[in-house]
């Protein structure tokens, strides 16, 4: 996202990026104080129609004054930092509302991951091999042993969640319910006669 779009996108309208004559910026102009640089120094040719419509009234107003390069450059850079800081904090606040890992940095997550590997090795004597995805992807194309293994490897089929339902049913509305102290729950099912006979009658040892 462009820095100039951050205030509107993230909902803080007290800041605008403003304009600066980047083409006028050079060592010989560091101490410049005088009339405002011409519009072309603001790179107006690369502006959109809407941006130009906003720029022209602003320039017509400020160009009546005096342009102090050091002062304007300092204000422009400080404003950029303020926008980026405020935008980052706004984004962070909105993101953390939806994130269960509130306040946990990537550094902490990495430390806990490394600590767990260390505990498995030192406390439990487990041989742990840590392999990142990019390493594995590279090995699949460059390592002869890995390529041979994958060529002969018969991967098992993915688990079918429907098979985990009680009795093979596939229309379960709720797999688990904990009754409250003052609540009575019922389970209603249509049982196949063959299955019912195995519960209520003797079951033959051979195929019936």
If you ran DSSP here, which 8-state letter would residue 203 be given? Answer: -
pLDDT score for 9: 82
* 44/52 Cα distance (integer angstroms): 7
- The neighbour count for residue 115, using CB atoms within 10 Å, is 10
Sign for the CA dihedral angle at 28, 31, 32, 38 comes to positive
- By three-state DSSP, how is residue 33 classified? strand
Q: What is the pLDDT along the chain (208 residues), one digit of tens a residue?
A: 788 888 888 887 778 888 999 999 999 999 999 999 999 999 999 889 999 999 999 999 999 999 999 999 999 999 999 989 988 888 877 766 665 656 677 888 889 999 999 999 999 999 999 999 999 999 999 999 999 999 999 888 887 776 666 554 555 566 678 899 999 988 766 556 565 566 666 666 665 5
- By three-state DSSP, how is residue 146 classified? helix
Residue 103, CB-side half-sphere exposure with 13 Å CA sphere: 0
**pTM assigned to the model:** 0.46
State both tokens at 46: 């690369």
**Residues contacting 29, CB < 8 A, separation 6+:** 69
């Amino acid at each position: 996202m462009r820095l100039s779009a951050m205030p509107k996108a993230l909902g803080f309208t007290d800041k605008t990026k403003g304009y600066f004559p980047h083409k006028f910026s050079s060592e010989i102009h560091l101490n410049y104080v005088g009339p405002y640089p011409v519009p072309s120094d603001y790179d107006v040719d690369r502006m959109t129609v809407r941006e130009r419509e906003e720029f022209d009234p602003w320039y017509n107003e400020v160009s009546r004054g005096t342009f102090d390069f050091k002062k304007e450059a300092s204000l422009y850079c400080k404003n950029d930092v303020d926008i980026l800081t405020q935008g980052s904090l706004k984004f962070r606040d909105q993101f953390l509302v939806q994130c269960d890992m509130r306040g946990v940095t990537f550094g902490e997550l990495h430390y806990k991951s490394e600590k767990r590997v260390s505990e498995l090795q030192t406390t439990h004597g487990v041989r742990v091999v840590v392999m990142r995805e990019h390493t594995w992807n590279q090995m699949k194309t460059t390592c002869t042993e890995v390529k041979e293994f994958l060529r002969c490897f018969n991967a098992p089929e993915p688990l079918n969640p429907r098979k985990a339902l009680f009795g093979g049913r596939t229309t379960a509305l709720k797999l688990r319910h904990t009754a409250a102290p003052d609540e009575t729950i019922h389970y209603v099912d249509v049982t196949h006669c063959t299955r019912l006979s195995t519960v209520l009658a003797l079951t033959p040892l051979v195929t019936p």
